[in-house]
Amino acid sequence: MSLPPSTPCRHLFAPAPAVVPALRRLCLLTLLLGGGCGLLSGGQPPGVGGAAGATQQGWHAEASDDPEAGVRHLQSLLHSLREATAQGRFDQAEALVNTAEQGLAHSSTVTRSHPDFDDLQAQVKGARPQLREAIEADRLARRHAAIEALVRDGGADLRQCITQ
């Protein structure tokens, strides 16, 4: 059905020839992008297949594939924890302690039967108090350094006042 050229609103009823391919491309692009995001998230909503679910599934997959994997994972977490604590990266160390504790809680029976598991369990349980002590020692060292800087600056100001 075509409208006569004299109709004032004919452009509203019949789209221009260039608009139709652009709309097709826009629809295709929307479908591709939406499908790509769905594939990246594993076809699950963002809250379901996020990082928390992946770590627990990954932990069990490692432990069931290789009997040593769970113990090696805990050992590497403890090694990274020691490095982060020594370098003063306490936020990262806190996250590593949480991950190690979760790994300990979700470890498989194969991992729990490993001869080194009891030692690792004791190290993980002692990691949080050691981290708290390191944070407190760092806090005290920073406080003492700030006090020394204030005393040093105050002494210089006092000497300057006396000499004037």
Domain of residue 129, residue span: 55-163
pTM reported for the whole predicted model: 0.54
What is the C-alpha separation between 10 and 23, in angstroms, rounded?
19
Residue 11 within a domain: no
Residue 157 within a domain: yes
Query: Two tokens at 56?
Result: 């627990």
SS3 content of the chain, % helix, strand, coil (to 5): 75, 0, 25
More confident residue, 98 or 58: 98
Residue 100 within a domain: yes
Contact residues for 46 (Cβ-Cβ < 8 A; gap 6+): none
- Inter-helix orientation angle 69-86/117-163, to 10°: 10
pLDDT digits (tens, 9 = 90+) for 100-125: 999 999 888 888 888 888 999 999 99
Q: How far out from the chain centre does Cα 114 lie?
A: 29
The pLDDT-based confidence of 47 (bands split at 50, 70, 90) is: very low
Residue 67 within a domain: yes
Domain count, the chain: 1
pLDDT digits (tens, 9 = 90+) for 60-102: 444 456 768 888 999 999 999 999 999 999 999 999 999 999 9
Residue 111 within a domain: yes
Looking at residue 50, its pLDDT comes to: 40
Residue 46 within a domain: no
Question: Are 50 and 64 within 8 A, CB to CB?
Answer: no
Query: Two tokens at 161?
Result: 């006042």
The residue-averaged pLDDT of 42-58 equals 44
